[in-house]
Amino acid sequence: MPADTNPYGDIFGGWLMSIMDSAAGTVASRYSRGRAVTIAVDSMTFHRPVKIGDVVSVYANVIEVGRTSMKIDVSAWRRIRAGEETDRVTHAVFTFVAIGDDGRPRVIEQ
């Protein structure tokens, strides 16, 4: 939406990062069967701008699991609303830690 853009009509990187974090958080919570929180984002690279009206799709997959943490590979793609061509616009690896009700790390049951 226009409120999420810079003066040139490109979507703010922070907005896109928020959407990617949300997707990664959904995957992390599902995988760990409970609450999981972001602790790091590695190697975020913006390849192309996202314009107003573009359709954005985000894909997230668990790529590594530790005792209490998970690394989630996340890519965002855009498609011009009236077209079929897609472009990867950004990519990052998010690290999440599974936490219990007490807010402390918990072991991920596999």
Contact (Cβ atoms closer than 8 angstroms) between residue 49 and residue 100: no
Give the phi and the psi of residue 68 in degrees, each rounded to 5. Answer: -125, -5
For residue 98, count CB atoms less than 10 angstroms from its CB and return exposed for 0-12, middle for 13-18, buried for 19 or more: buried
* pLDDT score, position 107: 98
- The one-letter code for the residue type at 74 is V
* pLDDT score, position 52: 87
- The one-letter code for the residue type at 87 is D
pTM as predicted? 0.91
**CATH dotted code for 2-98:** 3.10.129.10
- Name the one residue in this structure whose structure tokens are 């918990």: 106
- Name the one residue in this structure whose structure tokens are 């995957």: 27
For 65-75, how does the pLDDT look when each residue is reduced to its tens digit (9 = 90+)?
Answer: 999 999 999 99
For 26-69, how does the pLDDT look when each residue is reduced to its tens digit (9 = 90+)?
Answer: 999 999 999 999 999 998 989 999 988 899 999 999 999 999 99
* CA–CA dist 41, 93 (Å, integer): 6
Contact (Cβ atoms closer than 8 angstroms) between residue 18 and residue 50: no
